[in-house]
Amino acid sequence: MWFAQHLVHIYPVRVWRASTRSLRALRSNNMKQLLRTTDMATIAFAQALLQGEGIDCFEMDVNMSVLEGGIGIFPRRLMVHSDDFTDAAETLRDNGIEVYDGP
């Protein structure tokens, strides 16, 4: 509990801004699908890379993945703001992660 309390005090503004911008973009359909995979390690790595570059991202279908029991049937999607898509795609490709091109 001590660790969680200090994280809230150290990082509250950054977390709030990222969440607010991502949710606002998601509601206005300004998000593009960057990655779609059942591999949770790839999602975590991609999120860390994007966070390091200062690109906000939003992971979708997390709850559906939890409901299935964690056996990896339903893929999770990583969404980014449409303005950041090119930079985000370049970052992932440079690190060996395939970017979702879509249908």
Whether the per-residue pLDDT at 42 is higher than 70: the answer is yes
CB neighbours (10 Å) of residue 28? 8
Sign of the CA dihedral running 75, 31, 45, 66: negative
Q: What domains can you pick out in the chain, each with its CATH number? A: 2-94 (3.30.70.790)
The span from the CA of 10 to the CA of 14, in Å, is 9
Parallel, antiparallel, or unpaired for β 31-37 and 57-60? Answer: unpaired
54 torsion bin: left (phi>0), alpha (psi -120 to 50), beta (else): left
For residue 23, what are the contacts with CB-CB under 8 A and spacing of at least 6? 58
Q: pLDDT tens digits, residue range 46-87?
A: 999 999 999 999 988 888 756 766 677 788 899 999 889 999
